[in-house]
A and B are shown apart, each in its own frame.
Chain A
């Protein structure tokens, strides 16, 4: 029985590890400037903890194999050196690993969340609601209109709660259901939610940030590749959560300008 256990643990471990090593299922291609640091961090962690995983399971298998020896003359053996070396090894090795991960990882985190957005960022306003995202561009005047929750009306397409009757800046705001951005230009999003908590997740951008009702949260990134990607909601927001999504279209600068013009005309 013990030998069977040892074999089972080792087989399970090797199968599990092989899919990680082969990258059968893996992160999608990275399209942001801050993504590579995160990928690097993840791969370092994968290597380090993968080795720990492998070592832990294999040692367990080995020890159980040995412990299943039925020879009646065999005496039990204590672990050489007792507990103290193990405790010391765990504190030192894991401690070093932790400090390294924290030190390196804080940089990757900081680039996304602590560094301020570039001054020349393209500012886009995002409204999340059950169960869609809407995006707002300032329009030709470069000014966003104010937000008035009491003016929100999905039926007339006023998802943000603009008040064009009294607010001139709001009149030319462009509101669309897809996020269209130029490539290689810093983007600054202001996230706010109309109703409950939502989240803005673009796997390719390595960006995930919750929307919190009542506060406005900035998110900045720069996309490095053109293409069409999905923005999905990752914070449980109600029955349509699974279907809450929008498309991110990264365009060349001229294409973007043209698109924006066509929207402003409407």
Chain B
């Protein structure tokens, strides 16, 4: 059954010869995966640049930033940014990072490249859909970038785009005319691309597994991509209509999110009957699962990579997969914890708080299992394994602060402060990116045929690891002192004494950001000058290491792979004297 469908996929297309079909409009999941990675790379450096500008402004608000007035004469006359331009940068930073980096890199990029290979398929189930989903996402990115260049300025309502600020149009201030509409259109397009991708991942996982690749033998990152695509299918299916309603409110005069009697810019708005809370419910029904869309693939990547370098099996593989599924399931019951002080019925706060706190159970189990997997290991310290260990550390740090924010009573005080900023940056952004870094150092040889430079990789790790703590740990202190987020300047009496902390964070952010150029250099340099990689340089078990480096067009050179073992056979004594058994090796792994 599996074999037939796999060969069916193989016959859907043959290796293209023209440049365009090979590298641009390619149907090959490996090319599409690299395209997603390239897009995420471009996006992450843009997003990081925006955060640099924001941090500079927060640390030294009166300093003109060189050349910023060339970028936007209206947004930064003489180089000092206006309050609305700060909010534009903040909105674009959040949107670009959440959608085009954290969703694209660990999920769409690596998932596309490695999911079919890891399950022994020759391509995705729907290669044409796959190509469409990338180019749709790319179009969404272009539309989002276009928002930088409209005369009224980029949107200012944050990546959450709360209505009615996002819905009423230009009367609410600059940045809320065309820029905000482009934002909504871009996100709607992005949803379509993600829905296509999620369907494809699900169909591929369920239908194209090769002979012997039972669900129980699937590598953990394939499991994570599968669970994530189920989450994504349900989440983006809600955000898409929400964006359409927002676009209608903005352009067609409807009132889904706008109540009666609003007065903006001295004008009574011609709307009635809408509900601002409706937007929040729809957005967070997507938004909270989105957090897991960002982090689950990275959890999977770390669970996949850590045993390779620990030279011992992952502790509790079944529990690991169970926890991923539990997190995915619970992620749909907790969106209201973003809305404790939103004015929704206060009784529902308790209702949302309990499942939120319960998510800490599978999250704690995952952490303990990762720690238990490090215990007694013969660790090989490479850039990839360091980022895995760093992942565990930042995942703990970010997870712990969730205990505070999950409780409505404490959230009264900490809501919308820098404590929240610290929390989600640690647990969602940094943890997820550490997974991406680990994945990059780990898979780069397979993707390009060359090894990355380990010395630069380790330097990158140390600067980044210490850097993110220097940036985000102090934000907890700021939050405890009541420092409100999303402020373009700190003019309140009680916030002025906190400005030195902001200066420290700014310096840390500039240095940590600069360290990322080491990574970029390493990527580019190793792509052309790195030492040639062997078929299985890390001595790993999964299927991507059973094929040529880089893999041929149909992944396995016409062979149909047969799988005999799970991915977890490390720390064993194989017949050929190695300490691992490949998934494709007919040798039966000894019962542990």
Q: Tell me, yes or no, whether A and B come into direct contact in the complex with CB atoms closer than 8 A.
A: yes
Where the two chains meet, the residues of A that have a C-beta atom closer than 8 Å to any C-beta of B are 1-2, 5, 8-9, 12, 16, 19-20, 24-28, 37-38, 41-42, 45-46, 48-50, 52-53, 56-57, 59-60, 63-64, 66-69, 74, 76-79, 82-84, 86-87, 89-91, 94-95, 97-98, 101-102, 105-106, 108-109, 112-114, 129-130, 149-150, 152-155, 161, 194-197, 199, 201, 203, 206-215, 217, 230, 232-243, 245
Shortest CB-to-CB span from B162 to chain A, Å, is 6
Of B346, B357, B481, the residue contacting A102 (CB under 8 A) is B357
B416 touches A234 (CB 8 A): yes
Q: Of residues 506 to 538 in B, which have CB atoms within 8 Å of A's CB atoms?
A: none
Cβ contacts under 8 Å, B576 to chain A? none
Cβ contacts under 8 Å, A112 to chain B? 409, 412
A199 touches B416 (CB 8 A): yes
B492 touches A236 (CB 8 A): no
Q: Which residue of A lies closest to B469 (CB)?
A: A12
| Bound-complex Cα distance A241 to B84 (A) | 9
Cβ contacts under 8 Å, B488 to chain A? 241-242
A76 touches B378 (CB 8 A): yes
Q: Which residue of A lies closest to B364 (CB)?
A: A90
Q: Which residue of A lies closest to B416 (CB)?
A: A234
B379 touches A64 (CB 8 A): yes
A57 touches B357 (CB 8 A): no
| Bound-complex Cα distance A89 to B371 (A) | 14
Cβ contacts under 8 Å, A208 to chain B? 341, 412-413, 415-416
Of B274, B374, B481, the residue contacting A67 (CB under 8 A) is B374
A28 touches B482 (CB 8 A): yes
Q: Of residues 133 to 164 in B, which have CB atoms within 8 Å of A's CB atoms?
A: 156-158, 162-164
Shortest CB-to-CB span from B306 to chain A, Å, is 11
Q: Of residues 103 to 148 in B, which have CB atoms within 8 Å of A's CB atoms?
A: none
Given contacts A83-B316, A87-B316, A109 and B349 within 8 Å (CB-CB)? yes
| Bound-complex Cα distance A66 to B415 (A) | 40
Given contacts A87-B316, A195-B263, A212-B342, A38 and B389 within 8 Å (CB-CB)? no
Shortest CB-to-CB span from B461 to chain A, Å, is 9
| Bound-complex Cα distance A207 to B342 (A) | 13
Shortest CB-to-CB span from B183 to chain A, Å, is 14
Q: Is B174 an interface residue (CB 8 A)?
A: yes
Pick the 7 closest A-B CB pairs, nearest first: A214-B259, A83-B316, A77-B376, A203-B482, A149-B261, A242-B487, A113-B346
Interface centre among A66, A214, A233, by most B CB within 10 Å? A214
A236 touches B162 (CB 8 A): yes
B396 touches A194 (CB 8 A): no
Q: Is B242 an interface residue (CB 8 A)?
A: no
| Bound-complex Cα distance A52 to B83 (A) | 40
15 contacts between A and B (CB under 8 A): A2-B381, A5-B381, A5-B386, A19-B477, A25-B477, A53-B400, A57-B396, A63-B374, A86-B316, A86-B369, A195-B263, A208-B415, A212-B342, A236-B87, A239-B82
Of A60, A98, A108, A209, the residue contacting B396 (CB under 8 A) is A60
Shortest CB-to-CB span from A247 to chain B, Å, is 9
Q: Which residue of B lies closest to A5 (CB)?
A: B389
- Beyond A87-B369, A98-B360, A242-B486, 16 extra complex contacts between A and B, CB < 8 Å: A25-B477, A27-B482, A28-B482, A53-B397, A67-B377, A68-B379, A74-B378, A77-B376, A79-B372, A83-B315, A87-B316, A109-B409, A195-B264, A196-B164, A197-B276, A236-B87
Given contacts A45-B410, A68-B381, A86-B369, A94 and B364 within 8 Å (CB-CB)? yes
A213 touches B369 (CB 8 A): no
Q: Is B466 an interface residue (CB 8 A)?
A: yes
Q: Which residue of B lies closest to A154 (CB)?
A: B266
Q: Is B67 an interface residue (CB 8 A)?
A: no
Shortest CB-to-CB span from A92 to chain B, Å, is 10
Given contacts A86-B368, A209-B343, A210-B342, A38 and B410 within 8 Å (CB-CB)? yes
Cβ contacts under 8 Å, B259 to chain A? 213-215
| Bound-complex Cα distance A56 to B410 (A) | 23
B403 touches A45 (CB 8 A): yes
B165 touches A237 (CB 8 A): yes
A194 touches B262 (CB 8 A): yes
Shortest CB-to-CB span from A179 to chain B, Å, is 15
Shortest CB-to-CB span from B88 to chain A, Å, is 10
Of B83, B156, B315, B481, the residue contacting A86 (CB under 8 A) is B315
| Bound-complex Cα distance A83 to B315 (A) | 6
B368 touches A90 (CB 8 A): yes
B361 touches A94 (CB 8 A): yes
Q: Which residue of A lies closest to B312 (CB)?
A: A76
Q: Is B407 an interface residue (CB 8 A)?
A: yes
Given contacts A101-B407, A105-B408, A236-B157, A79 and B376 within 8 Å (CB-CB)? yes
Cβ contacts under 8 Å, B315 to chain A? 78-79, 82-83, 86
Q: Which residue of B lies closest to A30 (CB)?
A: B413
Of A12, A87, A203, A240, the residue contacting B83 (CB under 8 A) is A240
| Bound-complex Cα distance A259 to B283 (A) | 45
B416 touches A235 (CB 8 A): yes
| Bound-complex Cα distance A82 to B316 (A) | 7
A239 touches B84 (CB 8 A): yes
Interface segment among B30-38, B212-220, B440-448, B493-501: the answer is B493-501
B413 touches A42 (CB 8 A): yes
| Bound-complex Cα distance A230 to B413 (A) | 14
A26 touches B316 (CB 8 A): no
| Bound-complex Cα distance A90 to B478 (A) | 30
Q: Of residues 154 to 202 in B, which have CB atoms within 8 Å of A's CB atoms?
A: 156-158, 162-165, 168, 172-176
Cβ contacts under 8 Å, A109 to chain B? 346, 349-350, 407-409, 412
Cβ contacts under 8 Å, B349 to chain A? 109, 113
Given contacts A199-B416, A212-B277, A212-B342, A76 and B376 within 8 Å (CB-CB)? yes
